[in-house]
A and B are shown apart, each in its own frame.
Chain A
Amino acid sequence: MNFSDLTAGLEAWPDDAPSRLDIDRLHAGEIDGEAADALRARIARSPEAAAYLAARERGFDDAPIDPRASLAAIRRGMADAREARAARDPRAVLRRWLPLLAAAAVGAAAVFFFVGRGGPPVAPDPPIDTVRIKGDLRLRVFRRTASGAEEVLSGDPFAPGDALRFRAKLPEAGRVTVVGVEGDGTLYTAWPPPGAALSDRFEAGADVQLPEAVALDDVPGTETLHLVLCPDDVAPVCASAGAEAAPNCPEGCRSTPFVVRKVAP
Chain B
Amino acid sequence: MPPYSDALLTRLFRLHGPMVLRRARGILGSHADAEEAMQEVFIKAMSAIESARDDDLTGWFYRMTTNHCLNRLRDRKRRRQLIDEKVAPAEDRSTQHDPDAMLTLRWLLANADARQAQVVVYVHVDGLRQAQVAELMGITERSVRNLLRRFEAWADKQLAGRGRRR
A residues sitting closer than 8 Å to B (CB atoms) are 1-4, 6-13, 19-22, 24-25, 27-28, 30, 55-56, 59-60, 63-65, 67, 70-71, 73-75, 77-78, 81, 126-127, 129-132, 134, 140, 151, 153
CB of B132 within 8 A of CB of A10, answer no
A78–B5 touching, CB < 8 Å: no
Query: Closest B-chain residue to A15, C-beta based?
Result: B129
**Chain A residues closer than 8 Å to B156, beta-carbon distance:** 2-3
User: What is the total number of residues of chain B having a CB less than 8 Å from a CB of chain A?
Assistant: 57
Contact with A along B64-105 (1 / 0, CB 8 A): 000000000000000000000000000000011110111011
B39 cross-chain contacts in A, Cβ below 8 A: 70, 73-74, 77
- Name the prevailing secondary structure of the B interface residues: helix
| Contact A65/B31 with A6-B105, A21-B59 known, Cβ cut-off 8 Å | yes
For B6, B43, B151, which residue has the most chain A Cβ atoms within 10 angstroms? Answer: B43
Complex formed: what's the CA distance from A5 to B104 in Å? 11
**In whole Å, how far is B131's beta carbon from the nearest beta carbon of chain A?**
10
In-complex Cβ contact of B57 among A28, A56, A67, A81 (8 A): A28
Subset of 29 A-B contacts with CB under 8 Å: A3-B159, A10-B125, A11-B96, A21-B59, A24-B19, A25-B58, A28-B16, A30-B55, A30-B58, A59-B14, A59-B17, A60-B21, A63-B21, A64-B31, A67-B14, A67-B17, A70-B17, A70-B38, A71-B10, A73-B39, A74-B9, A78-B4, A127-B5, A127-B7, A129-B11, A132-B55, A134-B55, A151-B10, A153-B14
Residue from A19, A59, A60, A132 with most neighbouring chain B CB atoms (10 Å): A19
> B9's closest neighbor in chain A, by CB?
A74
B contact residues vs A (CB 8 Å cutoff): 2, 4-7, 9-11, 13-19, 21, 31, 35, 38-40, 42-43, 46-47, 54-59, 62, 95-98, 100-102, 104-105, 108, 124-129, 132, 136, 151-152, 155-156, 159-160, 163
* Partner among B35, B97, B102 whose Cβ is within 8 Å of the Cβ of A70: B35
A1 contact set on B, CB distance < 8 A? 104, 159, 163
* A60 lies within 8 A of B102 (CB): no
Measured between beta carbons, the chain A residues less than 8 angstroms from B4 are 78
| CA gap between A78 and B40 in the complex, in Å | 10
The residues of A that contact B159 with a CB separation of less than 8 Å are 1-3, 6
* Nearest Cβ on chain B to A63's Cβ, whole angstroms: 6
Contact present for B127 and A13 (CB under 8 Å)? yes
Write the nearest CB–CB distance from A136 to chain B, whole angstroms.
10
Q: Contacts A11-B97, A28-B58, A78-B47 hold; do A56 and B19 have CB atoms under 8 A apart?
A: yes
Contact between chains at B10 and A24 (CB < 8 Å): no
